[in-house]
Amino acid sequence: MEILWFSIVAFMLAMYVVLDGFDLGVGILHRIIGRTEEERTMLIKTIGPVWDGNEVWLLAAGGTLYFAFPKFYASSFSGFYLPLMIVLWLLMLRGIGIEFRHLIQNQMWKSFWDTVFSFASILLAIFFGAALGNVVRGVPLNQDGYFFEPLWTTFTVIPESGILDWFTVIMGLVAFFTLMSHGANYIAMKTDGVLQLRARTTAKISWWGILLFSIIALIATTVIRPEVWRNYTDYPWGYLFPLGGFAGLVGMFMFIIKGKDTKAFLSSSLFIVMMLCATAFGHFPNLLAASTNQDYSITVYNALAHEYGLGVGIVWWILGFVLTSGYFIYLYRSFKGKIASTNLNDHGY
């Protein structure tokens, strides 16, 4: 049961990062790749009908997390109070940025929402990376299983950590470059002409950013939390995850060079999923590691909900997942192909 629900939540979060990741990436690049109002309208069209559904993976993952590991939800949401609230505000700004931009045909109105959309997307990518960084690094849990972190303290990892320190900022940059490249590959896949060329160039540049910061993050993780390697020593098959991630990274570079955008996009998806799996694998059975005293850590064993509820949950979760897969297959099929500049509205139909 523990492993099953840990995997389900991890799967839903990975779906979130892959799917909403590309529209966050489009947001990051919105003002860089799109230079005129028309070009930016085109970029919005590439994500118009799908971004909302993508974002729901975050909500659904949050709900499932609450359902399966209530204690972890309570502890982490109250402990990460400030960054979560800031993430909420950014999600709001980003959502209305996309949905309100096209409602008034006025250059100032559109340019304002372009900036809001892009600003919120950039900060969200960094915050999500930093959040993962906090989970990897561990937090100062007390014996009741709660903690609170200010936004930053001294930017050192110990003893009184903040949300942002040198390690989590590095993780934020990994996420930033990863999603930027993911978004660029998506744009290259969905557009042609000048937008596609710019997207390919951006994908190439940000790939070096991923490589550089991933290596730094890997070394840093080993330094501050060497125990993440313990599971790999005990169960060597886990090395498949980082190897898969590496394959994704290499594939991404090769396909970008060759101009095979769809394959490049799939490679960056593979990279994201495998690196998240690798992190989760190293992290198990911890959900939230205590930097104070290892006994205070919240694990899948001490946070799991009661078995009756989980047994019922697996039934409706599978049903819900089958339905959702159907919606998404239909949605993405009805939206396949490149966006033509002749489409009349911002939603690509």
Partner 1 sequence: MNDAFLIDRLQFAFTVSFHYLFPQLTMGLALLIVILKYLAIKKKNDHYNNSARFWAKIFGINFAVGVVTGIPMEFQFGTNWARFSTFAGGVIGQTLAMEGMFAFFLESSFLGLFLYGEKKLGQTGHFITSILIFLGSWISGYFIVATNAWMQHPVGYALSPDGSVHLTNFADLIFNPWAISQYSHNMIGAAITASFVMASVGAYYLLAKRDTDYGKTFIRVGITTGLIASILIIFPTGDFEAKNVAMHQGTKFAAMEGLFETKQGAELVIIGQPDLDKMKLDNPIHVPKLLSFLTYNRWNAEIKGLDAFPKENWPDNIPLLYYGYHIMVGLGTIFIAIMIISALLLWKKKLFETRWMLWILMLSFPFPYIANTAGWMTAEVGRQPWLVYGLMKTINGTSPTVSAGNGLFTLLGFLGMYLVLGVLFLLLVIRTINQGPSSATQSH
User: Under the rule (CB under 8 A), what is the footprint of partner 1?
Assistant: 48-50, 52-53, 55-56, 59-60, 62-64, 66-68, 70-71, 73-79, 81-82, 84-85, 88-89, 91-92, 95-96, 99-100, 103-104, 142, 144, 146-148, 305-306, 308-309, 312-313, 316-317, 320-321, 323-324, 327-328, 330-331, 334, 344-345, 347-349
Smaller CB separation from partner 1, 103 or 223: 103
Smaller CB separation from partner 1, 56 or 247: 56
Smaller CB separation from partner 1, 63 or 193: 63
Smaller CB separation from partner 1, 60 or 218: 60
Smaller CB separation from partner 1, 136 or 304: 304
The CA distance from 234 to 173, in Å, is 30
Shortest distance, position 30 Cβ to partner 1, whole Å: 18
Shortest distance, position 208 Cβ to partner 1, whole Å: 34
Shortest distance, position 95 Cβ to partner 1, whole Å: 5
Shortest distance, position 3 Cβ to partner 1, whole Å: 19
Smaller CB separation from partner 1, 193 or 311: 311
Shortest distance, position 220 Cβ to partner 1, whole Å: 27
Smaller CB separation from partner 1, 127 or 147: 147
The CA distance from 234 to 118, in Å, is 43
The terminus-to-terminus CA distance of the chain in angstroms comes to 43
Nearest to 94 by CA among 154, 44, 135: 44
Smaller CB separation from partner 1, 64 or 299: 64
Shortest distance, position 343 Cβ to partner 1, whole Å: 10
The CA distance from 230 to 116, in Å, is 43
Nearest to 182 by CA among 251, 107, 271, 109: 271
Shortest distance, position 268 Cβ to partner 1, whole Å: 23
The CA distance from 97 to 24, in Å, is 13
Shortest distance, position 201 Cβ to partner 1, whole Å: 30
